[in-house]
A and B are shown apart, each in its own frame.
Chain A
Amino acid sequence: MIEAIKLAITVAFLLAGSFFLVTGSLGIVRFPDTYSRMHAAGKCDTLGVSLMLIGFIIYQGLDLVSVKLILIILFVFFTGPVAVNAIIRAAINSGHKMWTVEGWKEWKKERIESSEGLNDTSG
């Protein structure tokens, strides 16, 4: 009985972690800008890894193996956002452009105008 409850809690933690991982991956694919993609990658990955490894710690109980898992959690928790922050600093210092609403509206207007022009010439 205790084993079944432990397995259920583990699977719940694993499902929560994989939900955050899938959400972060969709954010990396779907966001419009490099900086917002980094925002999705930095937070969701850290939370998802932490939740999934906490699930494995609950499944394992307290022994040497779970100490290794706790070490992995601590390392990812401290270094994941630092790595993404270093990449963002490199992007800002090398002059990468940021996404703005005005720029997007201009791009959309230009695209509509150019497509209308194409329709006029073809029609």
Chain B
Amino acid sequence: MSIFEIFLYILLITTSIVLYRVIKGPSLFDRIVGINAIGTKTILMIVVISYVFERPSFLDIALLYAILNFIGSIVISIYIERGGVTE
């Protein structure tokens, strides 16, 4: 067992703490912020997994996930603000 596996469990616990706000959240914006935070933690989880299994090519997936997370948050906020993605 690698020592990095402990941090994988810490990240899983952190994700489940935020998942409470995503499920319970009173407004839509709480849910979006919770999903954004979960996506950020998923990037870290993929990096830690790539060190646990010693596969450096997983880091490309982490970089891709960061880009997807950012674009998802921006598109959802623009959709709510203007009522549509296009002008």
Q: Do the beta carbons of A87 and B77 come within 8 Å of each other?
A: yes
CB B15 to nearest CB in A, in angstroms, measures 8
Contact of B21 among A29, A83, A94 (CB under 8 A): A29
Residues of chain B contacted by A75 (CB below 8 angstroms): 63, 66-67, 70
Q: Do the beta carbons of B81 and A94 come within 8 Å of each other?
A: yes
Question: Size band of the B side of the interface?
Answer: 35 or more
A45 to B30, CA, bound (A): 15
Q: Do the beta carbons of B73 and A87 come within 8 Å of each other?
A: yes
Output the nearest chain B residue to A24 by Cβ-Cβ distance: B37
CB A14 to nearest CB in B, in angstroms, measures 5
A114 at the interface (CB under 8 A from B): no
Which one of B14, B76, B78 has the highest number of Cβ atoms from chain A below 10 Å of its Cβ?
B14
CB A84 to nearest CB in B, in angstroms, measures 7
Asked, given contacts A72-B59, A75-B66, A86-B78, whether A11 binds B17 with beta carbons under 8 Å apart, the answer is no
The residues in A between 57 and 76 inclusive whose CB is less than 8 angstroms from any CB of B are: 59, 65, 68-69, 71-72, 75-76
Q: Do the beta carbons of B44 and A52 come within 8 Å of each other?
A: yes
Residues of chain A contacted by B84 (CB below 8 angstroms): none
Q: Do the beta carbons of A25 and B37 come within 8 Å of each other?
A: yes
CB B83 to nearest CB in A, in angstroms, measures 10
B1 at the interface (CB under 8 A from A): no
The list of the 10 closest CB pairs from A to B, nearest first, reads A83-B73, A90-B77, A79-B70, A86-B77, A90-B81, A25-B17, A68-B59, A91-B29, A65-B56, A45-B40
